Amino acid sequence: MAGLILEPTSQAQWQALVHEAQSACDRHLDETLESYLVFLLMRFADKPQCTARIMAADYLNSQVLLGEQRADKLRDVGDHCLLFSGLFPQLAERRLVRISYFVNIGRASYRQLSDGLDRGWSSVYSHLSEAFIVLVDILHAMRELGGMAALTPLQAMDFWQQTGSRRCYQQVCAGGRSIPAAIATEKH
């Protein structure tokens, strides 16, 4: 981290942190996605217990709901999956799943949400689904601002192979001398 973040409000502090993470990983969000991420982080900053949630059960439960209840549940699942895969990737290892497991559930949730909403909000969630990996890359960069790697080299390799994450590709290139040629041409 470059230094202390001395912003007057909590929102401004999170925004400064998101900006710093974007610069650190050279990935940039448009204003809508940046605001969504800032408010998401603000909302969950005081809810560490959210990591106990079981996303598979929540996703399947959302399928039996209708209307606004369904939309709320899908949004909640998408948001949690984004946080799990970006801020708490070690959670996947503890639950014996890949990080991309949360990515797939999160993207599907946002995509379904966008299909069932009016045009204005629909485009936001569609955009979130498409830019999910960019958001995860930024959250990984945010974790690394403190000086600790978000992913081990093996996790980075796996995540890159599963999702095509540009940041993980760079981490793999920086950490090793060779990338399997067949894989390197397929992804990224």
Taking each continuous run of H as one helix and of E as one strand, the counts in the chain are 11, 0
Tokens for 90, please give them. 């070690």
Among the listed ranges 30-38, 42-50, 55-63, 124-132, the one in contact with another protein (CB under 8 A) is 55-63
108 binds another protein (CB under 8 A): yes
Size of the site for another protein (CB under 8 A): 11
Among the listed ranges 13-21, 22-30, 103-111, 124-132, the one in contact with another protein (CB under 8 A) is 103-111
69 binds another protein (CB under 8 A): no
- In angstroms, what is the minimal distance from the CB of 159 to another protein? 16
Residue showing tokens 């993470």: 21
Tokens for 1, please give them. 């981290």
104 binds another protein (CB under 8 A): yes
Q: Quick one: which of 10, 23, 32, 63 contacts another protein (CB under 8 A)?
A: 63
2 binds another protein (CB under 8 A): no
Cβ proximity to another protein, 54 vs 183, nearer residue: 54
CB 105 within 8 A of CB 56: yes
Cβ proximity to another protein, 101 vs 125, nearer residue: 101
Q: Which long-range contacts (CB under 8 A, 24 or more apart) does 154-158 make?
A: 155/89, 155/93, 155/99, 158/98, 158/99, 158/100
| DSSP secondary structure code for residue 54 in this structure | -
Q: By CB under 8 A, what part of segment 127-186 binds another protein?
A: none
CB 73 within 8 A of CB 58: yes
56 binds another protein (CB under 8 A): yes
CA distance 141 to 153: 15
59 binds another protein (CB under 8 A): yes
Tokens for 110, please give them. 């946002």
Would you tell me which residues interact with another protein (CB under 8 A)? 56, 59-60, 63-64, 97, 101, 104-105, 108, 112
